[in-house]
């Protein structure tokens, strides 16, 4: 009880002696489920701030971080939202892009330009569906900002009859599995200030960690299949369904030890280069043919595969629009595009909001 009284309605600050005074690191918030309730931690001007999130304190937190959701959204049981099948029919409009890699400002600019959000960063895409085909994490320094915006946009979209789909990429899985090779230096400061490793800020006792663990690795919308790297012919040869992919990642891969994953033949298949988060064969395998993609599409009863992971300067296509690559190098912080689909067919949207036609095939190396 003594500790409850200490923590409730009080603010704790911790400074790090070896942090440069001029660095002014800002990060967070990270929200944890504890015996005291939801506890928020964030870094403000290289100082760690911690407080219990209550009905009284939440409005200030919401304003501070421009959250697009109410306190009730933080109290959801995300395990109840697990849907391994991930098939959606009758969708009339869709936008897909990938590999944001912490480039929050460019991400916001791209969404605004293409009518997905308004000037106040609120959902404005009606009943449309947005697919982020993996890799919000790593490289850039505003990963947390992107995650919380997607989290809030998801709630707003659902109210309008639309939907945000976050498909897990290799960098989401890496962070959840404590492979932190690509985190920005800013997050190393956060680790020191919080006294924990970066992956523990997304552990299963955190709100963002629970939310991420509810997300799929592969989905199907109308006649389109989505996976960060792609669904390989090897998966088809072993009769691996989208449902099995999602269930296996959720139950046996996310947050698990690498050695234990690689000790199992099937888990290793999903986890490595022929699995859906690392596969690059659609673009990098010289032996990949139109017959190869036809075998994949026929197995999953689809006509198009939409993937990220392989970086180009623009949305690319292969084999008469059977494959779309939507990693348009947002990670560099300079350019980006989105793939658009509606009753008029496929097109691409640019940072200026211009809508351009797509060729039936892209010449690339």
Residue 317 has pLDDT above 50, yes or no: yes
306 Cβ neighbours under 8 A, 6+ residues apart: 96, 131, 133, 224, 225, 226, 323, 324, 326, 339
Contact 108, 241 (CB under 8 A): no
Of the candidates 276, 292, 266, the residue with the CA atom closest to the CA atom of residue 86? 276
User: Is the same domain home to 189 and 259?
Assistant: yes
Q: Is 101 left (phi over 0), alpha (psi -120 to 50) or beta?
A: left
Task: Tell me which residue range forms the domain holding 57.
Answer: 2-65
pLDDT tens-digit series, residues 236-276: 999 999 999 999 999 999 999 999 999 999 999 999 999 99
The runs of H, that is alpha helices, within the chain are 2-7, 58-65, 104-113, 143-159, 170-176, 185-194, 207-213, 233-237, 242-248, 258-262, 265-271, 281-284, 290-299
User: Is the same domain home to 234 and 135?
Assistant: yes
Confidence label for 303 from pLDDT (cuts 50, 70 and 90)? very high
For residue 346, the cross-strand partners are 341
User: Is the same domain home to 46 and 102?
Assistant: no
pLDDT at residue 360, as a whole number: 65
For residue 223, tell me if it sits in a domain. yes
As a whole number, mean pLDDT of residues 100-105 equals 98
Residue 1 has pLDDT above 60, yes or no: no
User: Is the same domain home to 204 and 335?
Assistant: yes
How far apart (Å, rounded) are the C-alpha atoms in residues 13 and 99? 34
Q: Is 10 left (phi over 0), alpha (psi -120 to 50) or beta?
A: beta
pLDDT at residue 362, as a whole number: 60
Of the candidates 179, 247, 171, 256, the residue with the CA atom closest to the CA atom of residue 216? 247
How far apart (Å, rounded) are the C-alpha atoms in residues 264 and 342? 42
pLDDT at residue 365, as a whole number: 41
User: Is the same domain home to 86 and 57?
Assistant: no
pLDDT at residue 13, as a whole number: 40
For residue 204, the cross-strand partners are none
User: Is the same domain home to 187 and 319?
Assistant: yes
As a whole number, mean pLDDT of residues 225-236 equals 98
User: Is the same domain home to 351 and 209?
Assistant: yes
pTM: 0.93
Confidence label for 11 from pLDDT (cuts 50, 70 and 90)? very low
For residue 291, tell me if it sits in a domain. yes
Q: What percent of the chain has pLDDT over 70?
A: 92
User: Is the same domain home to 16 and 128?
Assistant: no
pLDDT at residue 82, as a whole number: 86
pLDDT at residue 361, as a whole number: 63
User: Is the same domain home to 54 and 102?
Assistant: no
For residue 365, tell me if it sits in a domain. no
Contact 340, 347 (CB under 8 A): yes
Total domains in the fold of the chain: 2
Q: What percent of the chain has pLDDT over 90?
A: 90
């Amino acid at each position: 009880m003594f500790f409850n009284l200490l923590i409730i309605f009080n603010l704790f600050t911790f400074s790090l002696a070896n942090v440069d005074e001029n660095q002014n690191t800002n990060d967070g918030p990270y929200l944890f489920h504890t015996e005291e309730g939801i506890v928020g931690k964030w870094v403000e001007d290289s100082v760690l701030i911690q407080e219990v999130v209550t009905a009284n304190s939440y409005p200030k937190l919401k304003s501070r971080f421009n959250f697009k959701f109410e306190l009730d959204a933080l109290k959801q049981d995300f395990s109840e939202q697990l849907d391994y099948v991930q098939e959606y029919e009758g969708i009339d409009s869709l936008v897909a892009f990938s590999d944001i890699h912490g480039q929050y400002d460019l991400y916001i600019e791209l969404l605004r330009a293409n009518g997905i959000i308004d000037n106040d960063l609120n959902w404005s895409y009606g009943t449309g569906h947005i697919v982020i085909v993996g890799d919000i994490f790593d490289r850039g320094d505003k990963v947390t900002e992107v995650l919380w915006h997607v989290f809030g946009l998801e709630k707003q979209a659902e109210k309008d009859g639309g939907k945000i789909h976050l498909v897990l990429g290799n960098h989401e899985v890496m962070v959840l599995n404590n492979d932190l090779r690509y985190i920005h230096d800013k997050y190393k400061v956060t680790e020191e200030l919080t006294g924990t490793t970066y992956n523990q800020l997304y552990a299963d006792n955190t709100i963002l960690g629970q939310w991420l663990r509810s997300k799929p690795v592969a989905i199907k919308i109308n006649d389109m299949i989505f996976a960060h790297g792609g669904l390989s012919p090897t998966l088809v040869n072993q009769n691996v369904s989208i449902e099995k992919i999602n269930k296996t990642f959720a139950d046996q891969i996310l947050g698990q030890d690498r050695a234990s994953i690689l000790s199992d033949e099937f888990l290793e298949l999903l986890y490595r280069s022929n699995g859906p988060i690392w596969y690059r064969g659609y673009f990098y395998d010289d032996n990949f043919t139109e017959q190869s993609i036809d075998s994949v599409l026929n197995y999953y009863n689809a006509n198009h595969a939409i993937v990220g992971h392989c970086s180009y300067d623009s949305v690319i296509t292969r084999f008469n629009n059977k494959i779309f690559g939507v990693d348009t190098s947002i990670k560099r912080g300079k350019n980006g595009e989105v793939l658009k689909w509606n009753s008029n067919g496929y097109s691409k949207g640019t940072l200026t909001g211009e809508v351009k036609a797509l060729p039936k095939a892209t010449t690339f190396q």
